Structure 1
Amino acid sequence: MGVAVPSGLGERRATAWTVALFTLVVLLWGSTWIGIKLQLGTVSPAVSVAYRFLLAAACLFAWCAARRLQLRFPAGAHARFALVGLLQYCTNYVLFYYSSEHLVSGLVSIIFALSVGCNIVNGYLFLGRRVRPSVVVAALVGVLGLVLVFSDEIGVTGASGAAVLGVILGVAGTLSFSFGNIASSKNQQAGLPIVPATAWSMLYGGLLTTVGCLATGQEFTVEFSVRYLVGLAYLAVFGSAVAFVAYLTLLGRIGPDRAAFATVVFPLVSLTLSTLFEGYCWTVLALLGVAVVLAANAAVLVGPQLRAALGAVARRT
């Protein structure tokens, strides 16, 4: 005779798992600046992106092989994988790497956080997801919080031609990331397994980046230093293979609009690490911005469950 599990308990476990996935993504993506900083040197940024995702794909294929997960798919599925690879693991990263050469990191973070709005619009257009006013408001509030956090840094960036180019590249990279999210959502709706699909998509992304580098005359050099190789390994294994599997799982659970809120929070992790290792000094506006960002994300991730719990308490009293 089976034991019935209360629906409330199942909902709490589902919420806890969602929060755990979200936290993992935020911590991993928030710490990738360490790996990127270690990679700055003689190797072209685009070439480093190619290395990163080819290595990440190799890690995921090894995991799939060890777990005997399905790796053979029809041609139609490979076309889907290649599209995600082009959008999410090639174009998105190359554009943002070059955008970062023209803009301060705070402004780049704010531009990337706009993916929340892009995912809301694209989710409505391509997935038929309902636009929830609470999520739209929370997205606007979250971006406002990031503006407060990076207000001093943004003031340093003038309206130069280089800055304008950096913004254009960043916005294009954000759109590419968002379209990649939608394509990944459609893959999950089609029943394609997350880890093997991510492995193939990263392989295609790395190969397409390699082709682009060869076409533009980029030199494929490797900096044989502990600094560069450790940075590459961290970005490939943790910042890509682990983080994207967690993010895409989260995306399938709560949708692209809410999952993209990770892009609003992870700059705060970067700032915390910068405080510990680089002496970043917090201002009152930055602290206020952090509070605003955290409140916006709490409203999106656990707001519905919190309102339901408060309603249940109110009914009992």
Structure 2
Amino acid sequence: MRRVTILGLFVLVALTWGTTWLAMRIAVETIPPIFATGMRFMFAAPFLISIAYLRKTPILFPPGQRLFQLGITVFYFTIPFALMIYGEIYVSSGLASIIFANMPLAVLIASVLFLNMKTNIVQVAGLTMAIVALAGILYEETNANINAGSHWQGIIALILAVIIHAIVYAQCKKRCCDVSVITFNALPCFLAALILSTLGWLFESPQISNFSECSVLATIYLGAFAGVFGILCYFALQQKASAFQASLVFLIFPLIAVSLESYIYGYAISAHSMLLVIPLASGIFIALASKTFSLGGRRLDSSS
């Protein structure tokens, strides 16, 4: 029964994260990226705060960690998620998901730099293999794109989002910031919604009459479903499975994202890039399998 539960949670998380990237692409078709991200969090926050109220879970971090909670609002929610959806203006959802699948490697590097975590030769080999493969994919996809300059803008935005998230994970572990998944997400999500919605309204001047039904539904999906259900499912998966088993979802959700984009939009990454996905996934697998480490514990919600 436990194995069935783990498998079910794994599939749910992979499907949720895999569809998140397509939803972001649909959202920015008619909604400016910063305002869309604010809407996303505005849809998620009431659910998270309601769950906190019903479960009598505090929404504030413990005393001494509340300034850090503000930092999480800015550097975990506000900036990286805005960068993610901005990146999807210029980068396909499939490629965006492949870039973000490297989160385990970014966390590994951040742990080495900020936590003095020891590595072994196998981890380094896996890390090197994955980075070289990712560089090859980015080079291949950029050459195939007629707007190479804009394409790199999107790639850099997504890579920055991964790096910032990884640093936050390392800082959470360094500060022993062990709060519930609801506490970690509820209030920062609401504050980020206010910040991004305000900035988007002031600087992007969104025309609500131009928002398509599909874009609005996509932001609702990102907030109310992926932003809440995805968090809770991944947290439950981490409680029932090993850290290594839970981390394998990073190898699966990009395949779902690429397949969906190909089916719906008729666009897929090149055949050469698909071949490079094999050493990329192998490198990530080797790095994770050689020494299991936590990818942010109960705080990880990706994607997404």
State if a TM-score over 0.5 links the two structures.
yes
Q: Distance in 1 between matches of 2:41 and 2:79?
A: 12
Q: Give the CA deviation at 1:191.
A: 3.1
Q: Distance in 1 between matches of 2:13 and 2:131?
A: 18
Q: Distance in 1 between matches of 2:208 and 2:231?
A: 26
Correspondent of 1:206 among 176, 186, 193: 193
Q: Is the 8 A contact 2:142 2:148 kept in 1?
A: no
Q: Is the 8 A contact 1:82 1:205 kept in 2?
A: no
Question: Could you say which residue in structure 2 is the equivalent of 1:137?
Answer: 125
Amino acid paired to 1:266: F
Is it true that 1:97 corresponds to 2:57 in the alignment?
A: no
Aligned residues: 292
Q: Distance in 2 between matches of 1:168 and 1:266?
A: 21
Question: Could you say which residue in structure 2 is the equivalent of 1:124?
Answer: 112
- Which structure has the larger Rg over C-alpha atoms? 1
> What is the CA deviation profile of residues 179-202 of structure 1, one whole-angstrom value per residue up to 9, with x for unaligned ones?
232244456x33322222221222
Further displaced range: 167-176 or 209-218: 209-218
Q: Give the CA deviation at 1:31.
A: 0.8
Correspondent of 2:166 among 175, 178, 196: 178
Correspondent of 2:14 among 26, 41, 66: 26
Question: Could you say which residue in structure 2 is the equivalent of 1:43?
Answer: 31
Q: Is the 8 A contact 1:119 1:256 kept in 2?
A: no
Q: Give the CA deviation at 1:143.
A: 4.6
Amino acid paired to 2:89: E
Q: 1:27 to 1:138 in 2, by over 3 A?
A: farther
Q: 1:82 to 1:179 in 2, by over 3 A?
A: same
Q: Give the CA deviation at 1:248.
A: 6.3
Amino acid paired to 1:234: Y
Partner of 2:253, secondary structure, is helix
> What is the CA deviation profile of residues 49-107 of structure 1, one whole-angstrom value per residue up to 9, with x for unaligned ones?
01111221211111222223233545533322221221121111212322333344455
Question: Could you say which residue in structure 2 is the equivalent of 1:310?
Answer: none
Q: Distance in 2 between matches of 1:21 and 1:260?
A: 13
Question: Could you say which residue in structure 2 is the equivalent of 1:232?
Answer: 219
Q: 1:237 to 1:142 in 2, by over 3 A?
A: farther
Further displaced range: 38-47 or 152-161: 152-161
Q: Distance in 1 between matches of 2:4 and 2:205?
A: 45
Q: Distance in 1 between matches of 2:240 and 2:194?
A: 29
Q: Give the CA deviation at 1:245.
A: 4.5
Q: Distance in 2 between matches of 1:257 and 1:68?
A: 31
Q: Give the CA deviation at 1:270.
A: 0.6
Structure 2 portions without partners, runs of 5+: 293-304
Q: Is the 8 A contact 1:61 1:199 kept in 2?
A: yes
Further displaced range: 47-56 or 265-274: 265-274
Q: Distance in 2 between matches of 1:167 and 1:286?
A: 15
Q: 1:22 to 1:200 in 2, by over 3 A?
A: farther
Q: Is the 8 A contact 1:86 1:205 kept in 2?
A: yes
Superposition CA RMSD, Å: 4.1
Q: 1:228 to 1:284 in 2, by over 3 A?
A: closer
Q: Give the CA deviation at 1:260.
A: 7.1
Correspondent of 2:230 among 240, 243, 266: 243
Q: 1:44-83 counterparts in 2 under 5 A?
A: 44-74=32-62, 76-83=64-71
Q: Distance in 1 between matches of 2:21 and 2:132?
A: 22
Amino acid paired to 2:180: P
Q: 1:14 to 1:144 in 2, by over 3 A?
A: farther
Q: Distance in 2 between matches of 1:253 and 1:132?
A: 27
Amino acid paired to 2:17: W
Question: Could you say which residue in structure 1 is the equivalent of 2:298?
Answer: none
Q: 1:143 to 1:241 in 2, by over 3 A?
A: farther
Q: Give the CA deviation at 1:235.
A: 0.6
Q: Distance in 2 between matches of 1:138 and 1:288?
A: 17
Partner of 2:208, secondary structure, is coil
Q: Is the 8 A contact 2:21 2:94 kept in 1?
A: no
Question: Could you say which residue in structure 2 is the equivalent of 1:312?
Answer: none
Q: 1:295 to 1:21 in 2, by over 3 A?
A: farther
